Amino acid sequence: MARARVPIGGIAAAAMLGSHWVAYFIAAPDPHERAHLLRSTGHAYLPIVISVAIAAAVFGLGKFIA
């Protein structure tokens, strides 16, 4: 069971960050406005973290399926 924690954790982290991205996308559909909103709220790192989360989700799903 301990081996399943890492893949499931990666999937959960990706889901959490993905939901944040969707919320910001709905709140500010314009990319320039969204970038300004992210900077002003202290979430300017979010696009980079989303990329890492996608990689974690792919890795997690791959390990979970295997």
Q: How far apart are the first and last CA of the chain?
A: 14
DSSP string, 18-63: HHHHHHHHHH--SHHHHHHHHHHTT-TTHHHHHHHHHHHHHHHHHH
pLDDT at 1: 52
**pTM more than 0.75:** no
Residue 38 predicted with pLDDT over 80? yes
High-pLDDT (> 90) share of the chain, %: 12
Instruction: Give the Cβ contact number of residue 56 at 10 Å.
Output: 20
12-36, pLDDT tens digit by residue? 877 888 888 889 889 999 999 988 9
d(CA 38, CA 44): 5
Give 65's pLDDT tier (boundaries 50, 70, 90): confident
